[in-house]
């Protein structure tokens, strides 16, 4: 859920440049919420005051661009990005009804542009999606490099390399500070190349006797290209399955990233191809329940089915939190007699982030005075901080969300440190509405999912007498409590006993009646069940 801000100038007339506007996926503990995004209220106020000069998107991954359509209307600024990322954003925006028309300024890959007081150079880097960029941000006070997501891969199959000459030239120019990716700060050595993965996928497809289905992240165009090349070499046709996959491939075709490959076959051709003449590329590697792979595992896909002896390759990493969903699918496929290959069986996936050897290389190229580790959990940031210090960074600043770091000052004796804390937080996308993470809706839903809901409606006369019988409804409670007594009877007895026992004065106050009945119902249900449900009591005066 990336959102970075660079500010220049004194506090009261500071200009801000925003970098990336991403989402994160919600854990199951937040019922009913799938997507989380950064709370931009601070930035929204600055934008209104005319202090936001632009938003730069470094690359097209959801954790960097996913909140653009929802949050851009609050910012209203020009969005700077490069051609492939722009095309992806546009094709996605057009797929969302009512999405805003966003003013993009498309910078060529490797280009440079002035945004307010910031001179921003887009430095191509290798990553697991094409057209990723680090940013060299030049100001009258000095140069800061914001790496974005990157790795070193001299043979990335599709897209740019992280050019050693360009980065060491920046080091010669003099880098004051680096703000750098920490995702793989615990992994030793250098990541394998995308070409190594291509080789392994080629061997697996060549050796497969029957159908092969490969699931990967739709945005990993290099991986799609590797799979398609292996299919072509082995006389197999490629069928793309899943809307996200089709969307990315259409953009990649336009951008000439899939030149030299025959056209892929539509999904309805799958059933007519011999089992040893097809490779399906699928969405759903993270166990997403509505994606192609989950539906195939449940034998619920309109066009695609697998048979015993077919293979599914997970050319992906399971993102923490998705393990259960992915395992469910794997088990369902195994029960169908399908052979499963994951990154535990061979090099069928490689990360897009720098391992320690690559981080060290970046520090050698740039030789920054100041390092600010970002993009990782606190543990990763701490590990990266140590590495940065060892690599010669004189000042290493560890930050949490909302911290403002002084990176450069006109006063040469001023150190790099946290100087202020800005409001920050999270927004939840709830249906089509954005709510704060402290919105009571989520807490109430969690309580309802834990202990259900009891609703009671009571009609009372103006004199405080009960009219007719109270109406009671239970949802999410078991039918019988301890001792076998039905819980609806427990509730009914509690309501009637409570009303009988209420002093006359209290009965004339509907709020007081509701409060007493609520307490009685929750107490009785707790005695009979061991849990206290939410309880809604409506008292109507007739
Ligand atoms: Zn990324
Ligand atoms: Zn990222």
- Per-residue model confidence as pLDDT tens for the chain (542 residues): 999 999 999 988 899 999 999 999 888 889 999 899 999 999 999 999 999 999 999 999 999 999 999 999 999 999 999 999 999 999 988 888 889 999 999 999 999 999 999 999 999 999 999 999 999 999 999 999 999 999 999 999 999 999 999 999 999 999 999 999 999 999 999 999 999 999 999 999 999 999 999 999 999 999 999 999 999 999 999 999 999 999 999 999 999 999 999 999 999 999 999 999 999 999 999 999 999 999 999 999 999 999 999 999 999 999 888 999 999 999 999 999 999 999 999 999 999 999 999 999 999 999 999 999 999 999 999 999 999 999 999 999 999 999 999 999 999 889 999 999 999 999 999 999 999 999 999 999 999 999 999 999 999 998 889 999 999 999 999 999 999 999 999 999 999 999 999 998 888 999 999 999 999 999 999 999 999 999 999 999 98
Q: How far is the CA of 45 from the centre of ligand 2 (A)?
A: 26
> What is the pLDDT at residue 95?
84
Which residues, listed in sequence order, are joined to residue 455 by a DSSP beta bridge?
Answer: 473, 536
Give the ligand with the smallest distance to the CA of 375. 2
Q: How far is the CA of 318 from the centre of ligand 2 (A)?
A: 15
CA separation for the pair 197, 315 (Å, rounded):
9
Give the ligand with the smallest distance to the CA of 351. 1
Give the ligand with the smallest distance to the CA of 127. 1
Distances (CA, A) of 379 to 52, 359, 373, 374: 32, 16, 11, 11
Q: How far is the CA of 122 from the centre of ligand 1 (A)?
A: 15
> What is the pLDDT at residue 11?
87
Q: How far is the CA of 31 from the centre of ligand 2 (A)?
A: 25
Give the ligand with the smallest distance to the CA of 85. 1
> What is the pLDDT at residue 320?
83
Q: How far is the CA of 128 from the centre of ligand 1 (A)?
A: 7
Q: How far is the CA of 61 from the centre of ligand 2 (A)?
A: 7
> What is the pLDDT at residue 98?
87
Q: How far is the CA of 1 from the centre of ligand 2 (A)?
A: 8
Distances (CA, A) of 502 to 509, 510, 526, 542: 11, 12, 21, 19
Residues with CB under 5 A from ligand 2 (ion): 63, 149
Hey, how many other C-beta atoms are within 10 angstroms of the C-beta on 134?
A: 28
Q: How far is the CA of 57 from the centre of ligand 2 (A)?
A: 11
Q: How far is the CA of 383 from the centre of ligand 2 (A)?
A: 18
> What is the pLDDT at residue 28?
80
Inter-axis angle of helices 194-207 and 221-233, nearest 10: 40
> DSSP string covering 24-66, please?
EEPPTTSTT--EEEE--HHHHHHHHTT-EEEEE-----HHHHT
> What is the pLDDT at residue 97?
85
Q: How far is the CA of 480 from the centre of ligand 1 (A)?
A: 51
pTM: 0.92
CA separation for the pair 85, 255 (Å, rounded):
11
Q: How far is the CA of 355 from the centre of ligand 2 (A)?
A: 15
Neighbouring residues of 101: CB distance < 8 A, sequence distance ≥ 6: none
Q: How far is the CA of 36 from the centre of ligand 1 (A)?
A: 17
Phi, psi of 34 (to 5 degrees): -105, -35
Q: How far is the CA of 152 from the centre of ligand 1 (A)?
A: 14
Q: How far is the CA of 442 from the centre of ligand 2 (A)?
A: 27
Give the ligand with the smallest distance to the CA of 182. 2
């Amino acid at each position: 859920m990336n959102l970075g801000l660079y500010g220049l100038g004194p506090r009261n007339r500071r200009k801000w440049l925003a970098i990336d506007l991403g989402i994160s996926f919600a854990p199951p503990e937040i019922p009913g919420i799938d997507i989380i995004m950064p709370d931009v209220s601070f930035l929204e106020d600055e934008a209104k005051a005319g202090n936001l000069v632009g938003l730069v998107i470094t690359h097209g991954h959801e954790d960097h661009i996913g909140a653009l359509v929802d949050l851009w209307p609050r910012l209203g600024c020009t969005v700077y990005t490069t051609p492939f990322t722009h095309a992806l954003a546009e094709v996605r925006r057009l797929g969302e009804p009512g999405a805003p028309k966003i003013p993009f300024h498309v910078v060529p890959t490797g280009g440079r542009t002035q945004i307010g007081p910031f001179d921003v150079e887009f430095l191509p880097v290798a990553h697991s999606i094409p057209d990723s960029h680090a940013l060299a941000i030049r100001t009258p006070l000095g140069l800061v490099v914001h790496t974005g997501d990157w790795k070193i891969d001299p043979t990335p199959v599709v897209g740019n390399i992280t050019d050693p000459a360009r980065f060491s030239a920046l080091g010669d120019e003099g880098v004051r500070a680096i703000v750098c990716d920490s995702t793989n700060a615990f992994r030793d050595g250098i990541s394998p190349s995308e070409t190594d993965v291509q080789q392994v996928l080629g061997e697996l497809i060549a050796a497969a006797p029957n159908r092969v289905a490969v699931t990967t992240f739709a945005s990993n165009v290099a991986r799609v290209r590797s799979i398609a090349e292996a299919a072509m070499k082995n006389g197999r046709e490629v069928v793309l399955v899943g809307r996200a996959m089709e969307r990315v491939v259409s953009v990649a075709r336009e951008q000439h990233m899939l030149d030299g490959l025959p056209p892929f076959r539509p999904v309805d051709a799958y059933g007519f191809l011999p089992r040893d003449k097809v490779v399906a590329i699928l969405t759903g590697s993270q166990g997403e329940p509505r994606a192609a792979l989950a539906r195939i595992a449940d034998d619920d896909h309109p066009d695609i089915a697998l048979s015993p002896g077919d293979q599914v390759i997970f050319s992906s990493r399971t993102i923490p939190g998705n393990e259960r969903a992915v395992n469910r699918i794997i088990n369902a496929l195994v029960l169908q007699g399908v052979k499963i290959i994951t990154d535990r069986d061979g090099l069928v996936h490689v990360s897009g982030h720098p391992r320690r050897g690559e981080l060290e290389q970046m520090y050698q190229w740039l030789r920054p005075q100041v390092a600010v580790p970002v993009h990782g959990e606190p543990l990763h940031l701490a590990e990266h901080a140590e590495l940065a210090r060892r690599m010669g960074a004189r000042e290493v600043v560890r930050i949490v969300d909302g911290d403002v770091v002084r990176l450069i000052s006109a006063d040469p004796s001023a150190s790099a440190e946290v100087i202020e804390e800005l409001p920050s937080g999270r927004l939840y996308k709830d249906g089509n509405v954005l709510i704060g993470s402290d919105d009571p809706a989520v807490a109430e839903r969690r309580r309802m999912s834990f202990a259900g809901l009891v609703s009671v409606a009571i009609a009372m006369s103006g004199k405080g007498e009960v009219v007719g019988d109270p109406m009671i409804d239970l949802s999410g409670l078991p039918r019988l409590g301890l001792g076998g007594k039905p819980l609806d009877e427990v509730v009914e007895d509690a309501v009637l006993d409570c009303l009988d026992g209420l002093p006359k004065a209290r009965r004339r106050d509907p709020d007081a009646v509701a409060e007493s009945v609520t307490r009685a119902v929750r107490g009785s249900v707790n005695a009979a069940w061991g849990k206290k449900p939410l309880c809604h009591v409506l008292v109507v005066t007739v």
